Amino acid sequence: MSLRPTVDFLLHDWLKVESLQSRERFTDHSRETFDAVLDTCERIAREKYAPFNRLVDTQEPHFDGEKVTLPQATHDAYKAYAESGMLSAAQDYEVGGMQLPYTVEAAANAFFAMASVSIGSGMLTSGNANLLMVHGTDLQKQVFALNEFSGRFSGTMCLSEPQAGSSLSDVMTRATPDGADFESDALGARYRLKGNKMWISSGEHELSENIIHLVLAKIPDANGQLVPGVKGISLFIVPKKLVDTDGQLTGERNDVALAGLNHKCGWRGTTNTLLNFGEGKYPVRGEAGGGLDGAGSGAVAYLVGKPGEGLRCMFHMMNEARIGVGMAATMLGMAGYYASLDYAKNRPQGRPSGAGGKDASRPQVRIIEHADIKRMLLAQKAYSEGALALALYSARLVDEQHTGTAEDADVARLLLEVLTPIVKSFPSEWCLEANSLAIQIHGGYGYTRDFPVEQYWRDNRLNMIHEGTHGIQAMDLLGRKVLMENGRGLQLLAERMMATAAKAETSWAPEAAALRDALKQVGQATQQAWDGAEPAQALANAVPYLQAFGHTVIAWIWLDVAHSLGDDNSAAAQGRRAACRYFFRYELPKIGAWLNVVKSRDPTCADLPEEAF
């Protein structure tokens, strides 16, 4: 099956993306230019990514102690993607971009994620560069960001440390001023950075001329002590190879060393690294003394933004990465759905039951004719296509935030705040479940490498942890997002849900009523979780809250999609209506159990002493 008809429907028939052409930023665009971008990305994904998805899974990155070797197919795919212009698709014409709506960019990137998420398509590089375009100096933008947009340089984000993981307040990487003139460097205030970073995707390779690391670190106080908590965190540019103010390599290797590769169950085509900064393997500018804590030692690093504001800057990239992870999880779910649908249409097994039971003399039927197979296929469709619709809806909010009126932009900002944890978490849980169902449909063959579904599951299993676990997303949602600005973001989302229920009242009355009831339950749970409670009590069941919230959001998305179909009676429209009915009848009722423990602040998990395990 082809993804394109689904993308076209969601972009044009549902989201009406052509309406963006009336915005000054997008006046040069049309349906034709949007289609040309989609055509190009679909072709590159088909030719350079999909045929090599299994190859990069079996031929993992190899480190010989000096450099990392990747298959030639990965080099070819990276080159094709960079040459397509997609790394800078949404950027201004003046910096080589296309001024493409982010909605169209997100849809175009979906083809790469489905073809081979393991090869990757530059999510971290574009996110790195986008952050610098907002928080970097003019020269940092020119030297680092623009070279990333062209594909000449690539980028990473370096947050986690072996001892800290997701607890960023506990990072121990330190940055000390490099000489008395450290503030006068044209590329930014110059520091020497020492520390270790773990789980760094694309942290070492030979795909690009240089790798630009964005690193969180702390600047010691006057007594040489690290400031506790997140307020002491700053953000630094640490290039693998040093450059001059024209962006040209100086021939000096920065003190960034690969300590080793992590070998994960999935995403095996992407290098995942442990990096040592400033350990002395590659001494750099050793005579540039004057630095604190060891003059002239450590990796050369340039401050981004102001000291102590590193996490605020990094969240620009982290939120973008969370949406990207959600899209990756979605497309892996979609890939498994298409694979299992094709298998179900062709695999004969079993015979139909009649009044007298099964007649062994009759020919076998294809397994898609069995009700339980249809249930599993419909579940996959409901999870994956619903998640894709949500991701593109959120991308449309990004365009509204950047090009809408001041009032509309502020509304879009708040809606994105509330929806981002769902965009990341729902697909990473339920599209993984879709992959599990795809394996089930394949039966015993699903566990073999003769079929792709086991790889899709392994690749997707990482996304529940990528860019923040369910627990982190849940605490962000219940502990911050639904409360911020006196709950205005939640109120705005509720208004949109109620508007969908109102317009669908005639043709989808039971579903409209169910959505209203679900929304009421979520509202009550939000209030009761916090009613006189300490944060630890309120957040003890944050994950069930996240699950119920996510299911309510996807139910709303499906109802809006189904209502938009009107009188369309095509096979595709019938399938979308069935997916909507499935989600409301089989999935949405689950929220009651999830929210019950939230409302009561059930202490079963929180109060159990560790000795009882």
Q: Whose CA is closest to 555, among 499, 512, 598, 595?
A: 512
Class of residue 383 by CB neighbours under 10 A (exposed 0-12, middle 13-18, buried 19+): buried
Distance CA 374, CA 352 (A): 14
Q: Which two tokens stand for residue 243?
A: 């450059």
CB atoms within 10 A of CB 365: 13
DSSP state of 474: H
Angle in degrees, 0-180, between the axes of helices 542-564 and 484-503, rounded to the nearest 10: 30
Please report which helix (H) or strand (E) contains residue 192, including its range: strand 190-201
481, 418 contact by CB (below 8 A): yes
The length of the chain is 613
Q: For residues 272 and 264, is the Cβ–Cβ distance under 8 A?
A: yes
> Is the CB of residue 244 less than 8 Å from the CB of residue 250?
yes
* H or E element at residue 490: helix 484-503
Is the CB of residue 580 less than 8 Å from the CB of residue 514? no
Separation between Cα atoms, residue 610 and residue 416, nearest integer Å: 38
Task: For tokens 């579940």, name the residue.
Answer: 379
SS3 state at 482? coil
- Which is nearest to 311 in space by CA: 246, 390, 232? 232
End-to-end CA distance of the chain, in Å? 47
451 by Cβ neighbours in 10 Å (0-12 / 13-18 / 19+) ranks as middle
Facing residues of 215 across strands?
158, 236
Rounded distance, CA 383 to CA 431, Å?
Answer: 6
User: Encoding tokens for residue 545?
Assistant: 């809250």
Q: Measure the CA–CA gap between 278 and 258, rounded to whole angstroms.
A: 11
Angle in degrees, CA 147, 153, 157, rounded to 5: 110
Is the CB of residue 584 less than 8 Å from the CB of residue 569? no
What's the CA gap between 355 and 596, in Å, rounded? 43
Q: Is there a catalytic annotation at residue 24?
A: no
SS3 466: coil
Question: What count of other Cβ atoms lies within 10 Å of the Cβ of residue 306?
Answer: 13
Q: Which helix (H) or strand (E) holds 44?
A: helix 31-44
The two three-digit tokens of residue 45, written as one number:
């994904």
Helix 371-403 × helix 406-442 angle, to 10°: 160
Q: Nearest to residue 125, comparing CAs of 104, 101, 151?
A: 151
Selecting among 148, 320, 467, 587, the annotated active-site residue is 467
Q: What sections of 308-368 are H helices per DSSP?
A: 310-346
Q: How far is CA 44 from CA 111, 150, 270, in A?
A: 9, 17, 18
Distance separating alpha carbons of residues 386 and 578, to the nearest angstrom? 12
Catalytic residues: 467
